[in-house]
Chain A
Amino acid sequence: MLSIVGTLIVVVLVWQAIVFIGGYPPFILPGPASVAGRFVSAWSQGTIWPHFVTTLVEVGLGFAVGAGLAVIVGYGLARSRIVERLLSPYLVAAQATPILAIAPLLALWFGTGLLSKVVICSLIVFFPMAVATMVGIRSVDARLLELGRSLRATRRQVLTSLEIPAALPSILGGMRVGVTLAVVGAIVGEWAGAEKGLGVLINLARGSLFDIPLMFATLLTIALLGIALYLVVVLVERRLIGAR
């Protein structure tokens, strides 16, 4: 905790020093004090709040849908040679195409509302989570599976009592990556077309409002959102597998 505060102080000091030495005007690089002030005022005046809620809902839904599908597909990839052969080329191709390039198309198809953001978030979350699930399920100790067989565990019992608990560390590792990517997906989706959201607010602050401290305050909000979601996953991880 102390080290986190320490590095934070160093970062803020370096930032202030750059502003001071470089003599940058606030519309290029506002100082930490002005950003902090704008951050507080934007939150207290309710400027950020509605955008924040919109983005949070997009991230939450998109992550849930993407992660849910990824766990199912990842399991199929791990356990079925045919599924792996059929799907993996398309999965890799989808992953290799930058989400930034697909986002405008998805906005065209699914509109500028919640749906297109959920689709983009799901897509970006899907690949790392599917791979993490596949690796996790494949790494389940065959000896434990033999034990399950010798105890006459049903297919379902093998899944719930052996495979999922054994693959959980890997799946949660994928979630750490996935949840931060979901935030990226939501912002990209908002840039491709939206009325509300933190991505929209960044564009507004840079464009029509020309409020660069607000833009920084929004960036800070996005970063904090990512950190908070990451910490939630870490907490879940500690709770589920900490004592192993």
Chain B
Amino acid sequence: MTSISPASPASLVLPPANGSIDVVGVDLAFPTRDRGVLPVLDGIDLRVAGGGIVALIGPNGCGKSTLLRVIAGLLAPQVGRVTLDGAAITAPDPGICLVFQEPRLLPWRSAADNITYPLELAGWSVERRRARLRELTDLVDLDPGVVGNRPAELSGGTRQRVALARALALQPRVLLLDEPFSALDALSRERFDLELLRLWERAATTIVLVTHSIAEAILVADRVVVLSPRPGRVVADIPVDLPRPRSIADLDGAVVSRTAREVRAALGEPMAVPV
């Protein structure tokens, strides 16, 4: 386990190690109430190069979120292993941060105190936390006027922005996103996808994004990894040949339709999945 160096404005650009993730032969099953087992992940192999973006897509309940939790060190697989830059992940690691589907903000804290919560847990002084807070609000484009507000007073989009800033607080090398924008309306969602790309360019992290949307996957990722229904297996690993930087207009191109067709075919739902 490597610890991340303390943040300074200069190190905002590129963390030292590059954040490559290796998932090797991961099997995971949950015990059921009648003492049986429910296999959730079946022999998952997944390699994400440092600084890359991979989208995980698959039907409901195929184990996408479970896989993210395994990578985050929150769940231990029965078989197989996960490494970050060659070091085994067996517990939550400061180099990896998971952004949940819901913002999961502490309702009794202001947005600012939610963002700096990981720094507080890591024992940062008040001055350093304050300085880092400014960098983070810039990074995620958070209106400085609302950082004093409690989560209940913020819009859904702003809350997710706060959650993103909190995730980036300790400069993780890897950001795991579990359908982070699924609660937002379609328009905000596209905007957030593009912002995520800009953020990725600036923060230089590896990103694993779980999504239900083929369009989102193609717009954001270098590769779209398709999982089978439970127990989840990797059934396709489809590269996205779109140049960067990308924009919404790219979604109308021929490359996108071809890639989307491949993803749908891998999902086994020829035209059923809405883009």
Chain A residues close to B by CB (< 8 Å): 143-144, 146-147, 149-154, 157, 161-162, 165-166, 168, 241, 243-244
Contact = CB atoms under 8 A, between A and B. Distances in A.
Nearest to A157: B121
A161 B92 contact: no
A143 B150 contact: no
Given A149-B74, A165-B108, A143 B92 contact: no
B105 to A, nearest CB: 9
A234 to B, nearest CB: 18
Contact of B121 (A146, A152, A165): A152
Given A153-B121, A244-B107, 9 more contacts: A143-B100, A143-B104, A146-B100, A150-B97, A151-B118, A151-B121, A152-B94, A243-B150, A244-B152
A243 B113 CA distance: 14
23 contacts: A143-B102, A143-B104, A144-B104, A144-B106, A147-B100, A147-B104, A150-B72, A150-B74, A150-B98, A151-B92, A151-B117, A151-B118, A151-B121, A153-B121, A157-B121, A161-B120, A161-B121, A165-B106, A165-B108, A168-B108, A244-B108, A244-B150, A244-B152
Contacts of B107: 244
Contacts of B117: 151, 161
Interface in B66-108: 72, 74, 91-92, 94, 97-98, 100, 102, 104, 106-108
Contacts, number: 42
Contacts of B74: 146, 149-150
Nearest to B176: A150
Contacts of B97: 150
A241 B107 CA distance: 10
Counting chain B CB atoms within 10 Å of each CB, which of A150, A157, A166 scores highest?
A150
Contact of A150 (B92, B102, B150): B92
Nearest to A141: B104
Contacts of A146: 74, 100
Nearest to A165: B108
Contacts of A243: 150
A157 B119 CA distance: 12
Contacts of A241: 108
B236 to A, nearest CB: 29
Nearest to A146: B74
A241 B152 CA distance: 13
Contacts of A161: 106, 117, 120-121
Nearest to B109: A165
Nearest to B96: A150
Contacts of A244: 107-108, 150, 152
Interface string B105-144: 0111000000001101100000000000000000000000
Contacts of A154: 121
A139 to B, nearest CB: 13
A166 B91 CA distance: 25
B252 to A, nearest CB: 38
Contacts of A147: 100, 104
A157 B150 CA distance: 21
A28 B22 CA distance: 87
Nearest to B149: A243
A147 B151 CA distance: 16
Contacts of B100: 143, 146-147
A166 B107 CA distance: 9
A144 B114 CA distance: 12
Given A161-B117, A244-B150, A149 B92 contact: yes
A162 B72 contact: no
Contacts of B92: 149-152
